[in-house]
């Protein structure tokens, strides 16, 4: 994977607030978190104070200042999951991993997080392991989920992994729902977007089931061509950083109810996609040498 330097990022995105967010997204995509030394370079390159950079980095839950484990386990604690025993599931993960929610194991293998809602309430309790869903989870299944995650969820037994989970998605800019109940794909409301490629504009519908590749488009992009996607309500561009790890094309990025983000490669023929969920976690630590009250300004 090509990791771009801070100088290259600034040349691409500029020093506006929107540009800073895009650069932070790319930095986190490349490193897995936001390293302090890189943030200091970013502050110098954009002529902004380190406090400004940390203010943005700590405002958005999607950013993390601490390295995360090689595997990330997220347990939904939304109301439906909670009443079905999600707190006990969190407790079992904590017992087996010997950590608390929000922490990472000493060997750096697992990070355990919680999230308020994943929008799949009928299938709770929900656990997400490295972007793969497990539904109707019981405490007896926790050890198996950990074992399969260590082995790689895809390689372990994909037939037993719940992937076709309905997502409630919205535009990250105007927060308008992107679901279109009037046109279903896979038996669920489709995700309605506007698209453009090579000067051609039209509509596209994606399946709202995570893991499904079903699509319907007014004009389908040719194989290997990356399309741009836009919100049909506010017309905000929804493609951008981070970039696909497989083909380096921009990723479609839309919000999922409960704080998650669904990312899908914009290049026709590439099937890369994942769901990025973030729990509330602990308050971010300020950089060394910077007063805590300043870091939160």
| Residue 285 maps to a domain | no
Question: Do residues 154 and 181 share a domain?
Answer: no
Which parts of the chain are beta strand (E)?
A: 71-76, 110-115, 127-129, 132-134, 165-166, 169-170, 179-185, 188-197, 200-206, 209-210, 215-217, 228-230, 239-243, 250-256, 260-265, 273-276
Question: Do residues 226 and 242 share a domain?
Answer: yes
| Residue 35 maps to a domain | yes
Of 111-115, 211-215, 289-293, which has the strongest mean pLDDT? 111-115
Residue 155: the pLDDT is: 45
* Domain range for 20: 6-64
Residue 240: the pLDDT is: 83
pLDDT of residue 209 exceeding 70: yes
Instruction: Take residue 72 and report the two structure tokens written for it.
Output: 């990330």
User: Which pLDDT band, with edges at 50, 70 and 90, does 295 fall under?
Assistant: very low
| Residue 142 maps to a domain | yes
| Residue 194 maps to a domain | yes
Instruction: Take residue 248 and report the two structure tokens written for it.
Output: 């380096």
Question: Do residues 98 and 156 share a domain?
Answer: yes
- pTM of the full structure: 0.51
Of the three residues 44, 64, 84, the one that is the final residue of a domain is 64
| Residue 93 maps to a domain | yes
Q: How far is CA 197 from CA 84, 127, 267, in A?
A: 45, 37, 10
Give residue-wise pLDDT tens across range 77-102. 988 889 999 999 999 999 999 999 98
Of the three residues 114, 132, 163, the one that is the final residue of a domain is 163
Using CA atoms, how far apart are residues 234 and 241, in angstroms rounded to an integer? 20
Length of the chain: 297
Residues of the chain with pLDDT > 90: what percent? 35
How does 233-259 read in b/e, with b if 16+ C-beta sit within 10 Å? beeeebbbbbbbeeeebbbbbbbbbbb
Residue 25: the pLDDT is: 83
Residue 85: the pLDDT is: 94
Question: Do residues 102 and 157 share a domain?
Answer: yes
Average confidence score pLDDT of the chain: 81
User: Which pLDDT band, with edges at 50, 70 and 90, does 57 fall under?
Assistant: confident
Collapsed DSSP state (helix, strand, coil) of residue 297:
coil
**Domain count of the fold of the chain:** 3
pLDDT of residue 161 exceeding 50: no
Q: Which of 224, 243, 230 is nearest to 204 (CA)?
A: 230
Residue 171: the pLDDT is: 92
């Amino acid at each position: 994977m090509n990791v771009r330097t801070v100088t290259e990022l600034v040349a691409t995105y500029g020093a506006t607030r929107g540009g800073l967010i895009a650069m932070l997204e790319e930095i986190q995509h490349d490193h897995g978190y936001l390293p302090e030394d890189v943030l200091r370079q970013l502050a110098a390159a954009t002529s902004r104070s380190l406090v400004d950079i940390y203010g943005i980095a700590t405002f958005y839950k999607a950013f993390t200042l601490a390295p995360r484990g090689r595997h990330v386990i997220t347990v939904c604690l939304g109301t439906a999951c909670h009443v079905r025993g999600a707190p006990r599931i969190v407790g079992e993960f904590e017992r087996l991993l010997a950590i608390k929610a929000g922490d990472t194991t000493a060997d750096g293998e697992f990070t355990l997080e919680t999230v308020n809602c994943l929008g799949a309430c009928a299938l709770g309790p929900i656990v997400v392991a490295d972007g793969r869903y497990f539904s109707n989870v019981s405490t007896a299944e926790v050890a198996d989920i950990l074992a399969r995650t260590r082995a790689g969820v895809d390689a372990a037994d994909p037939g037993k992994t719940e992937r076709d989970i309905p997502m409630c998605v919205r535009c990250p800019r105007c927060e308008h729902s992107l679901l279109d109940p009037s046109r279903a794909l896979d038996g669920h409301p489709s995700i309605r977007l506007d698209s453009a490629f090579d000067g051609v504009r039209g509509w596209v519908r994606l399946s709202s089931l995570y893991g499904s590749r079903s699509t319907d488009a007014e004009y389908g992009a040719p194989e290997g061509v990356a399309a741009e996607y836009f919100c049909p309500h506010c017309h905000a561009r929804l493609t951008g950083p981070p970039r696909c790890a497989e083909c380096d094309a921009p990723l479609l990025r839309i919000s999922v109810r409960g704080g998650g983000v669904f990312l899908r490669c914009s290049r026709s023929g590439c099937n890369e996609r994942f769901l990025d969920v973030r729990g509330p976690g602990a308050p971010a630590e300020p950089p060394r040498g910077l007063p805590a009250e300043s870091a939160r300004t």
